[in-house]
Copies of this chain bind each other. A is one copy, B any other.
Amino acid sequence: MEERTVFFLSDQTGVTAETLGHSLLTQFSSRNFRQMTVPFIDTEDKARAAVRTINAVQESGAPKPIVFSTLVQDEYREILKEANGLHLDIFDVFLTPLAAELGEEPSYEPGRAHGMSDIDAYMKRIEATNFALANDDGGISRNYEVADLILIGVSRSGKTPTCLYLALQYGVFAANYPLTDEEFESGKLPEFLVQQKEKLFGLSIAPERLLQIRKERRPMGKYSSSQQIRFEIRETQKIFRRYGIPYVDTTEFSIEEISSRILDSTGVERRVRP
Protein backbone atom coordinates (compact mmCIF):
# COMPACT_ATOMS: atom_id res chain seq x y z
CA MET A 1 0.00 0.00 0.00
CA GLU A 2 1.12 3.52 -0.75
CA GLU A 3 2.98 5.31 1.97
CA ARG A 4 1.62 8.50 3.50
CA THR A 5 3.98 11.13 4.75
CA VAL A 6 3.04 12.62 8.08
CA PHE A 7 4.59 15.80 9.45
CA PHE A 8 4.71 16.90 13.05
CA LEU A 9 5.30 20.65 13.09
CA SER A 10 6.00 22.65 16.20
CA ASP A 11 7.51 25.88 17.42
CA GLN A 12 8.91 23.75 20.21
CA THR A 13 9.96 20.11 20.56
CA GLY A 14 7.16 18.49 18.59
CA VAL A 15 6.48 16.00 21.38
CA THR A 16 2.81 16.98 21.71
CA ALA A 17 2.16 16.77 17.97
CA GLU A 18 4.01 13.43 17.79
CA THR A 19 2.10 11.95 20.71
CA LEU A 20 -1.33 13.02 19.49
CA GLY A 21 -0.58 12.19 15.87
CA HIS A 22 0.74 8.76 16.72
CA SER A 23 -2.38 7.98 18.77
CA LEU A 24 -4.62 8.86 15.85
CA LEU A 25 -2.54 7.08 13.21
CA THR A 26 -2.65 3.81 15.13
CA GLN A 27 -6.37 3.77 14.36
CA PHE A 28 -5.39 3.06 10.74
CA SER A 29 -3.09 0.17 11.35
CA SER A 30 -3.08 -1.25 7.85
CA ARG A 31 -1.38 1.89 6.59
CA ASN A 32 2.27 2.72 6.19
CA PHE A 33 3.22 6.14 7.45
CA ARG A 34 6.52 7.91 6.97
CA GLN A 35 6.78 10.23 9.94
CA MET A 36 8.85 13.40 10.10
CA THR A 37 9.20 15.85 12.96
CA VAL A 38 10.05 19.47 12.17
CA PRO A 39 10.62 21.17 15.54
CA PHE A 40 11.54 24.72 16.56
CA ILE A 41 9.70 26.57 13.77
CA ASP A 42 10.18 29.97 15.37
CA THR A 43 11.06 32.23 12.43
CA GLU A 44 9.35 33.10 9.17
CA ASP A 45 12.22 31.44 7.26
CA LYS A 46 11.78 28.18 9.10
CA ALA A 47 8.01 28.26 8.52
CA ARG A 48 8.55 28.82 4.79
CA ALA A 49 11.16 26.04 4.68
CA ALA A 50 8.66 23.67 6.31
CA VAL A 51 6.04 24.60 3.67
CA ARG A 52 8.53 23.84 0.88
CA THR A 53 9.37 20.44 2.46
CA ILE A 54 5.68 19.55 2.71
CA ASN A 55 4.88 20.71 -0.83
CA ALA A 56 7.83 18.78 -2.22
CA VAL A 57 6.17 15.55 -1.06
CA GLN A 58 3.05 16.07 -3.08
CA GLU A 59 4.95 17.47 -6.06
CA SER A 60 6.90 14.20 -6.17
CA GLY A 61 3.60 12.46 -6.96
CA ALA A 62 3.02 11.02 -3.51
CA PRO A 63 -0.43 11.37 -1.92
CA LYS A 64 -1.33 14.43 0.11
CA PRO A 65 0.72 14.63 3.30
CA ILE A 66 -0.91 14.79 6.72
CA VAL A 67 0.25 17.62 8.94
CA PHE A 68 -0.17 17.78 12.71
CA SER A 69 0.89 21.08 14.17
CA THR A 70 1.11 22.77 17.56
CA LEU A 71 2.31 26.29 16.86
CA VAL A 72 0.98 29.04 19.07
CA GLN A 73 1.98 32.08 17.03
CA ASP A 74 -0.58 33.13 14.44
CA GLU A 75 1.91 34.50 11.90
CA TYR A 76 3.74 31.18 11.49
CA ARG A 77 0.50 29.19 11.59
CA GLU A 78 -0.82 31.27 8.72
CA ILE A 79 2.29 30.54 6.65
CA LEU A 80 2.03 26.81 7.35
CA LYS A 81 -1.56 26.77 6.16
CA GLU A 82 -0.24 27.48 2.66
CA ALA A 83 1.21 23.97 2.53
CA ASN A 84 -0.62 21.34 0.50
CA GLY A 85 -1.71 18.77 3.00
CA LEU A 86 -4.45 17.78 5.40
CA HIS A 87 -3.67 20.22 8.16
CA LEU A 88 -4.75 19.25 11.68
CA ASP A 89 -3.94 22.22 13.86
CA ILE A 90 -4.20 21.18 17.47
CA PHE A 91 -4.08 24.62 19.04
CA ASP A 92 -6.59 26.02 16.53
CA VAL A 93 -9.20 23.53 17.63
CA PHE A 94 -8.83 23.49 21.39
CA LEU A 95 -7.42 26.81 22.46
CA THR A 96 -10.56 28.82 21.67
CA PRO A 97 -13.06 26.79 23.75
CA LEU A 98 -10.52 26.53 26.56
CA ALA A 99 -9.93 30.30 26.63
CA ALA A 100 -13.70 30.92 26.61
CA GLU A 101 -14.24 28.58 29.54
CA LEU A 102 -11.38 30.07 31.55
CA GLY A 103 -12.39 33.61 30.60
CA GLU A 104 -8.81 34.42 29.80
CA GLU A 105 -6.75 34.96 26.67
CA PRO A 106 -3.99 32.41 26.02
CA SER A 107 -0.49 33.80 26.37
CA TYR A 108 0.41 32.75 22.81
CA GLU A 109 3.96 32.33 24.03
CA PRO A 110 5.65 29.31 22.54
CA GLY A 111 7.61 26.86 24.52
CA ARG A 112 5.67 26.62 27.72
CA ALA A 113 5.20 22.86 27.52
CA HIS A 114 8.24 20.61 27.56
CA GLY A 115 10.25 23.73 28.28
CA MET A 116 12.14 25.06 31.22
CA SER A 117 9.30 27.31 32.30
CA ASP A 118 9.16 25.26 35.46
CA ILE A 119 12.66 24.72 36.75
CA ASP A 120 11.38 22.87 39.81
CA ALA A 121 9.72 20.29 37.60
CA TYR A 122 12.97 19.86 35.66
CA MET A 123 15.00 19.36 38.82
CA LYS A 124 12.43 16.92 40.17
CA ARG A 125 12.69 14.77 37.03
CA ILE A 126 16.48 14.79 37.17
CA GLU A 127 16.46 13.93 40.88
CA ALA A 128 13.98 11.13 40.28
CA THR A 129 16.13 9.77 37.43
CA ASN A 130 19.24 9.83 39.60
CA PHE A 131 17.26 8.10 42.32
CA ALA A 132 16.11 5.38 39.91
CA LEU A 133 19.70 4.81 38.74
CA ALA A 134 21.15 4.68 42.25
CA ASN A 135 18.39 2.34 43.41
CA ASP A 136 18.30 0.15 40.32
CA ASP A 137 18.51 -3.61 40.64
CA GLY A 138 18.75 -3.51 44.43
CA GLY A 139 21.87 -1.43 43.92
CA ILE A 140 24.14 0.95 45.73
CA SER A 141 22.04 3.21 47.88
CA ARG A 142 18.88 1.28 48.82
CA ASN A 143 17.56 4.63 49.86
CA TYR A 144 14.08 3.24 50.20
CA GLU A 145 12.79 5.66 52.84
CA VAL A 146 12.34 8.39 50.22
CA ALA A 147 11.02 6.05 47.51
CA ASP A 148 7.45 6.48 46.28
CA LEU A 149 7.51 2.91 45.00
CA ILE A 150 9.74 -0.16 45.05
CA LEU A 151 9.18 -2.52 42.14
CA ILE A 152 10.04 -6.17 42.64
CA GLY A 153 10.15 -9.01 40.16
CA VAL A 154 12.43 -11.43 38.36
CA SER A 155 15.26 -10.34 36.07
CA ARG A 156 13.90 -8.90 32.76
CA SER A 157 10.34 -8.41 33.96
CA GLY A 158 10.55 -4.70 33.05
CA LYS A 159 11.58 -3.12 36.36
CA THR A 160 14.37 -0.82 35.17
CA PRO A 161 12.67 0.80 32.15
CA THR A 162 9.49 1.26 34.18
CA CYS A 163 11.37 3.01 37.01
CA LEU A 164 13.19 5.25 34.53
CA TYR A 165 9.99 6.09 32.69
CA LEU A 166 8.19 6.96 35.95
CA ALA A 167 11.14 9.22 36.86
CA LEU A 168 11.52 11.00 33.52
CA GLN A 169 7.82 11.36 32.75
CA TYR A 170 6.33 11.97 36.17
CA GLY A 171 9.18 12.69 38.61
CA VAL A 172 8.16 9.64 40.65
CA PHE A 173 10.88 8.15 42.86
CA ALA A 174 10.86 4.45 41.99
CA ALA A 175 13.45 1.95 43.20
CA ASN A 176 13.62 -1.64 42.10
CA TYR A 177 14.81 -4.87 43.62
CA PRO A 178 15.32 -8.13 41.72
CA LEU A 179 13.98 -11.36 43.15
CA THR A 180 16.68 -14.04 42.94
CA ASP A 181 17.55 -17.45 44.35
CA GLU A 182 17.98 -16.01 47.83
CA GLU A 183 14.30 -15.03 47.97
CA PHE A 184 13.09 -18.09 46.09
CA GLU A 185 14.84 -20.53 48.43
CA SER A 186 13.67 -18.89 51.64
CA GLY A 187 10.30 -17.85 50.23
CA LYS A 188 10.90 -14.59 52.07
CA LEU A 189 11.71 -11.01 51.27
CA PRO A 190 14.67 -9.39 53.02
CA GLU A 191 13.78 -7.46 56.18
CA PHE A 192 14.61 -4.04 54.65
CA LEU A 193 11.93 -4.65 52.04
CA VAL A 194 9.36 -5.97 54.49
CA GLN A 195 9.76 -2.72 56.41
CA GLN A 196 8.69 -0.85 53.26
CA LYS A 197 5.90 -3.23 52.44
CA GLU A 198 3.34 -0.55 51.59
CA LYS A 199 5.66 0.73 48.83
CA LEU A 200 6.18 -2.64 47.16
CA PHE A 201 4.63 -3.36 43.79
CA GLY A 202 5.23 -6.53 41.82
CA LEU A 203 5.86 -7.13 38.13
CA SER A 204 4.97 -10.56 36.80
CA ILE A 205 5.39 -11.89 33.28
CA ALA A 206 4.33 -14.95 31.29
CA PRO A 207 7.03 -17.67 31.10
CA GLU A 208 6.97 -17.79 27.28
CA ARG A 209 7.56 -14.07 27.00
CA LEU A 210 10.32 -14.06 29.61
CA LEU A 211 12.01 -16.96 27.82
CA GLN A 212 11.97 -14.96 24.59
CA ILE A 213 13.43 -11.85 26.26
CA ARG A 214 16.13 -13.70 28.17
CA LYS A 215 17.18 -15.76 25.16
CA GLU A 216 17.84 -12.57 23.24
CA ARG A 217 20.10 -11.44 26.04
CA ARG A 218 21.84 -14.71 26.86
CA PRO A 219 20.88 -17.58 24.57
CA MET A 220 22.36 -20.42 26.67
CA GLY A 221 22.49 -21.52 30.29
CA LYS A 222 20.23 -21.73 33.31
CA TYR A 223 19.20 -18.07 33.03
CA SER A 224 17.39 -18.77 29.76
CA SER A 225 16.13 -22.26 30.50
CA SER A 226 12.42 -22.88 30.42
CA GLN A 227 12.58 -24.85 33.67
CA GLN A 228 14.39 -22.10 35.58
CA ILE A 229 12.02 -19.44 34.27
CA ARG A 230 8.94 -21.40 35.32
CA PHE A 231 10.47 -21.94 38.75
CA GLU A 232 11.26 -18.23 39.21
CA ILE A 233 7.80 -17.09 38.14
CA ARG A 234 6.06 -19.65 40.38
CA GLU A 235 8.10 -18.65 43.41
CA THR A 236 7.58 -14.96 42.67
CA GLN A 237 3.83 -15.46 42.64
CA LYS A 238 4.07 -17.21 46.01
CA ILE A 239 5.97 -14.26 47.46
CA PHE A 240 3.44 -11.76 46.07
CA ARG A 241 0.63 -13.77 47.68
CA ARG A 242 2.43 -14.34 50.96
CA TYR A 243 2.98 -10.64 51.54
CA GLY A 244 -0.19 -9.44 49.79
CA ILE A 245 1.78 -7.41 47.25
CA PRO A 246 -0.25 -5.96 44.36
CA TYR A 247 1.21 -6.70 40.95
CA VAL A 248 0.73 -6.23 37.25
CA ASP A 249 1.40 -8.74 34.49
CA THR A 250 3.73 -6.96 32.07
CA THR A 251 3.50 -9.55 29.29
CA GLU A 252 1.23 -7.62 26.98
CA PHE A 253 1.91 -4.12 28.22
CA SER A 254 4.16 -1.34 27.04
CA ILE A 255 6.24 0.75 29.45
CA GLU A 256 3.55 3.45 29.41
CA GLU A 257 0.84 0.93 30.24
CA ILE A 258 2.78 -0.68 33.07
CA SER A 259 3.52 2.76 34.52
CA SER A 260 -0.07 3.98 34.23
CA ARG A 261 -1.41 0.83 35.81
CA ILE A 262 0.98 1.10 38.75
CA LEU A 263 0.09 4.74 39.41
CA ASP A 264 -3.61 3.98 39.01
CA SER A 265 -3.46 1.00 41.34
CA THR A 266 -1.30 2.55 44.08
CA GLY A 267 -2.58 6.11 43.94
CA VAL A 268 1.01 7.39 43.94
CA GLU A 269 0.85 11.03 42.80
CA ARG A 270 2.61 12.28 39.68
CA ARG A 271 5.08 14.92 40.91
CA VAL A 272 5.32 16.52 37.49
CA ARG A 273 3.24 16.31 34.32
CA PRO A 274 4.55 15.54 30.85
Chain A residues packing against B (C-beta within 8 Å) = 4, 12-16, 18-20, 22-24, 26-31, 35, 37, 39-40, 64, 66, 70, 72, 86, 88, 90-91, 93-95, 97-99, 101-102, 104, 106-109, 111-117, 122-123, 125-126, 129-130, 133, 136, 158, 160-161, 164-165, 168-169, 216, 252-257, 259-261, 263-264, 270, 273-274
Contact = CB atoms under 8 A, between A and B. Distances in A.
A255 B125 contact: yes
B29 A117 contact: yes
A28 B102 contact: yes
Contacts of A122: 254-255
B274 A29 contact: no
B20 A20 contact: yes
Given A18-B274, A256-B13, A26 B88 contact: no
State the 3 A-B residue pairs at the shortest beta-carbon distance, nearest first.
Answer: A26-B112, A27-B106, A114-B256
A107 B20 contact: no
So how many copies of this chain end up in the complex? 2
Contacts of A102: 4, 28, 31
Contacts of A264: 37, 39-40
Contacts of A136: 133
A40 B168 contact: no
Contacts of A99: 28
A27 B72 contact: yes
Given A122-B254, A168-B164, A259 B13 contact: yes
A98 B24 contact: yes
Contact of A164 (B15, B18, B104, B164): B164
A260 B15 contact: yes
A212 to B, nearest CB: 9
Contacts of A27: 72, 91, 95, 98, 106-109, 112
